[in-house]
Amino acid sequence: MRKQLFAALLALIVCGTAVADMQINIGISGGDWPSAPYVITPVSGTPAWMTPFETFCVESSVPFTPGNYAATIDDDILYAGGSTPVTLNDNVKKVYAAFLNNELGGFTGNEIQESVWGAQGYSGHSLDAAIAGIIGNASAIVGWDAVKVLNLWGPEGQDVQSQLVLVPVPGAALLGALGIGFAATRLRRRRLTADS
């Protein structure tokens, strides 16, 4: 059992290390540039679960252009040059989860983008009152705690922008691996008992 636990932990560490080598493409989903939501398409080094998805910018004053960028998935908004990371506000996570759960269908992408910036507390931006009401409804925000920051980096390691991403719950993979290991151990014991 210890070997199986070690193997599961090692797999999680290796998967986490590969994230730093991710290359993604960011473009628009429709309309004129810049028009939210944006579309992230994996290029290379991305986790197996990552497929093209719609997202919103987290940083309000960091312009970017469509193209390929290095990316990392983090809990915080990261900046180049040693600037202090900023924690992603829970209401930002809830707005994005409500969008992914199709609860924000009456809003344009740019209205949702404005609410993301407002929820993060950026000056000059506000969280729409109707969206605030929606994210107060628990059924609209299922999965919000699995929202993280997809930090984008330029070729010289400069901060390009940060996006929102919904990731699989890491504990589920570990629990699944532990469950498989436990089941295999029980099966092995039954076979040994039956052979005796």
Instruction: Report CA torsion sign: 70, 73, 76, 77.
Output: positive
Domain ranges of the chain: 2-171
pLDDT (tens digit per residue) in 65-114 = 999 999 999 999 999 877 899 999 999 999 999 999 999 999 999 999 99
pTM: 0.76
**What are the tens digits of pLDDT across the range 110-159?**
999 999 999 999 999 999 999 999 999 888 889 999 999 999 999 988 99
Q: What ranges make up the beta strands (E) of 59-139?
A: 67-74, 76-77, 86-87
Distance, CA of 4 to chain centre: 28
